[in-house]
């Protein structure tokens, strides 16, 4: 027997696989940083300023338009904008700021990340400057300032959109099993076997991203124990993760996972690829807990899912016997812009002028509302009447009401906590969802990083 015969065939199979993969890799495209200015370097850029922000539509186009308007109006003090993909941005900006190469305008999510910058003396105190801009300050939702405030001082200006986490559902899936959307946690648990019997996954989840799973815990903690459970953790009280309500929430979470509440393979699905949204709009999953920012994506990619009126949405339902206020919500109360303390005075002035004149101006507010988002300003409500699309108008009213009526709008945990505690949290959440640790083990691992 010639040993080469078999190996040759195997090798030819490999070749086939290689060609397929090479072709697909070519479709992937690149997503490296894209700079609209000539240099992508650090702070030194004459009297202009540098600004790093995120890619991804529709936000990207709106930010680019802001910079363009500013640069057209101020040809001598232009802003150089550099754009990064979300995950790359998070790493890159931290390293750049640490190395003194950061941009003048630091875009971020506030909370624990901002606190780290403040403690390192990397961002400007904007309290006094904002006090001199009463029009700007008073136009913004007051709840948005919480995550911008460190030790009573404001280090960032809220901007962009308020995005609560929402329970999305596919009305067609509910028609198939002849059921109504859940009104309580008990309803959710009852719906799980009904959907599974019909071959529809009850919930879509991009579990590999981890913060997607975290949103579930944020709501369960709130609905079962009230907003003070996480507040105690945030305030650094010892053993706050072992609160009986917290343990009950973790236990309920694992019950849902054990009951096959989530789509098969959820722990290898990422939110970055939007596969979790695709599961919902292609009818493979019936419900999805996700940020309000996914509406635009589902509308764009989901064919008639949104335009045909199949998408339903609601605030997370209450848990029977729970202490939380059912109006409470979680998510991002806004996005934030800080100014580097290492920039020159001229750069800082340019940055301040940009924030004051171009980040929440009328054109921007208009653009946000048109893209299906509620900007962080009170005047957003007046714009809603100008929306002609029936689905968009309903959606925007829902988001506005959810944000405005929330008794407590909690910031996402991974943004609120320090980067160190957040990473431990996300790791443990992944293990909790893998059922490889118990609620008790979760609590004790997390208690160890309280206040860190």
Partner 1 sequence: MVVPALAMFVVFGIVPLVGVLLLSFAQWDGLGAIHTAGISNWRTVLSDPALPHTVLVTFEIMFLSWAVQTPLSLLLGVFLAGRQRYRALLAVLYFVPLLLSSAAIAITYKALLDPNFGLGPGLHLGFLTQDWLGKGNLAVGVVIFVVSWQFIPFHSLIYQGGVRQIPTTMYEAAAIDGAGRIRQFFSITVPQLKYTIITSSTLMVVGSLTFFDLIFVLTAGGPGDATRVLALDMYKRGFQANLMGPASVIAVLLVVLGLILALVLRRLGGSTTASQQEGA
Q: Which residues bind partner 1 (CB under 8 A)?
A: 2-4, 7-8, 11-12, 14-15, 17-19, 21-22, 24-25, 28, 91, 94-95, 97-98, 116-117, 119-122, 207-208, 263-270, 273, 275, 278-279, 284, 418-420, 422-424, 427, 430-431, 434, 436
Residue 315 vs 412, nearer CB to partner 1: 412
CA distance 174 to 287: 9
Helices 59-73 and 362-370, axial angle in degrees (round to 10): 160
Residue among 123 and 374 whose Cβ is closer to partner 1 = 123
Give the whole-angstrom CA distance, residue 282 versus residue 193.
20
- Treating both helix axes as pointing N-terminal to C-terminal, what angle do 211-225 and 419-433 enclose, rounded to 10 degrees? 90
Minimum Å distance from CB 339 to partner 1? 16
Nearest distance from C-beta of residue 18 to partner 1, angstroms: 5
Q: Which backbone phi and psi does 222 adopt, to 5 degrees?
A: -65, -50
Q: In angstroms, how far is CA 235 from the centroid of its own chain?
A: 23
- Of 84 and 316, the one with the shorter C-beta distance to partner 1 is 84
- C-alpha 292/C-alpha 368 separation (Å) is 13
The answer to whether 433 and 267 have CB atoms below 8 angstroms apart is: yes
User: Which residue's CB is nearer to partner 1, number 267 or number 391?
Assistant: 267
Using alpha carbons, select from 325, 308, 309, 306 the residue that is nearest to residue 317: 325
Q: Which is nearer to partner 1, 119 or 175 (CB)?
A: 119
State which residue, 275 or 346, has the beta carbon closest to partner 1: 275
- The least distance separating partner 1 from the CB of residue 269, rounded to whole angstroms, comes to 8
- Cβ at position 275, least distance to partner 1 in Å: 6
Would you say 90 or 353 has its CB closer to partner 1?
Answer: 90
Considering only CA atoms, which of 309, 347, 392 is closest in space to residue 48? 347
Least Å from the CB of residue 445 to partner 1: 9
SS3 content of the chain, % helix, strand, coil (to 5): 55, 15, 30
The structure tokens 């100014």 sit at 339
Q: Length of the chain, please? A: 452
| 412 burial via Cβ count (<10 Å: 0-12, 13-18, 19+) | buried
Residues 144 and 376 sit within 8 Å (Cβ to Cβ): yes
Please state the closest distance from residue 214 (CB atom) to partner 1, in A: 14
Residue 79 β-bridge partners: 49
**Alpha-carbon torsion, ordered 57, 63, 65, 66, to 10 deg:** 160
Query: Could you tell me the smallest distance in angstroms from the CB atom of residue 420 to partner 1?
Result: 5
- Measured from the CB atom, is 102 or 164 closer to partner 1? 102
CB of 283 to partner 1, least distance (A): 11
3-state SS, residue 35: strand
Smallest distance, Å, CB 331 to partner 1?
A: 21
In the complex with partner 1, which residue's Cβ is closer, 265 or 309?
265
- Look up residue 10 and give its two tokens: 């195997």
Cβ proximity to partner 1: between 89 and 354 the closer is 89
CA angle 24, 26, 27 (to 5 degrees): 65
C-alpha–C-alpha distance, residues 367 and 344, integer Å: 32
Residue 440 C-beta: closest distance to partner 1, Å: 15
């Amino acid at each position: 027997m010639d040993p080469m015969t078999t190996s040759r065939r195997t090798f030819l199979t490999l070749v086939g696989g290689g060609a397929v993969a090479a072709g697909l890799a070519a479709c992937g495209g690149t997503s490296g940083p894209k700079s609209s200015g000539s240099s992508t370097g650090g702070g030194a850029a004459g009297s202009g300023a540098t600004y790093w922000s995120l890619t991804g539509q529709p936000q990207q186009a709106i930010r680019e338009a802001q910079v363009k308007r500013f640069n057209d109006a101020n040809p001598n003090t232009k802003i150089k904008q550099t754009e990064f993909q979300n995950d790359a941005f998070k790493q890159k900006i931290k390293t750049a700021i640490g190395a003194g190469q950061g941009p003048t305008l630091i875009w971020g999510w506030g909370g624990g990340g901002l606190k780290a910058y403040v403690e390192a003396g990397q961002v400007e105190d904007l309290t006094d400057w904002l006090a001199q801009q009463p029009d700007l300050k008073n136009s913004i939702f007051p709840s948005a300032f919480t995550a911008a405030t460190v030790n009573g001082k404001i280090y960032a200006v809220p901007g962009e959109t308020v995005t609560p986490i929402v329970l999305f559902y596919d009305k067609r899936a509910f028609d198939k099993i002849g059921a109504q959307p859940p009104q309580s946690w008990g309803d959710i648990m009852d719906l799980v076997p009904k959907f599974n019997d019909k071959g529809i996954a009850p919930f879509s989840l991009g579990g590999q991203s981890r913060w997607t799973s975290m949103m579930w815990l944020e709501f369960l903690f709130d609905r079962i124990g009230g907003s003070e459970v996480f507040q105690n953790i945030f305030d650094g009280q010892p053993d706050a993760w072992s609160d009986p309500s917290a343990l009950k929430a973790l236990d309920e979470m694992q019950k849902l996972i054990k009951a096959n509440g989530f789509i098969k393979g959820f722990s290898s699905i990422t939110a970055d690829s939007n596969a979790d949204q695709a599961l919902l709009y292609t009818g493979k999953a019936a419900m999805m807990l996700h940020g309000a920012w996914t509406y635009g994506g589902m509308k764009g990619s989901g064919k008639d899912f949104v335009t045909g009126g199949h998408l339903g949405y609601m605030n997370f339902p209450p848990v029977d016997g729970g202490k939380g206020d059912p109006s409470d919500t979680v998510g991002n109360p806004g996005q934030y812009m800080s100014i580097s303390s290492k920039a020159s005075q001229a750069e800082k002035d340019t940055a301040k002028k940009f924030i004051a004149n171009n980040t929440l101006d009328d054109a921007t507010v208009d653009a946000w509302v048109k893209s299906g988002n509620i900007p962080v300003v009170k005047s957003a409500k007046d714009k809603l009447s100008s929306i002609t699309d029936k689905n968009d108008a309903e959606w925007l009213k829902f988001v506005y009401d959810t944000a405005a009526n929330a008794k407590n709008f909690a910031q996402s945990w991974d943004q609120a906590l320090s980067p160190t505690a957040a990473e431990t949290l996300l790791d443990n959440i992944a293990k909790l969802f893998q059922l490889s640790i118990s609620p008790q083990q979760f609590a004790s691992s997390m208690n160890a990083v309280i206040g860190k």
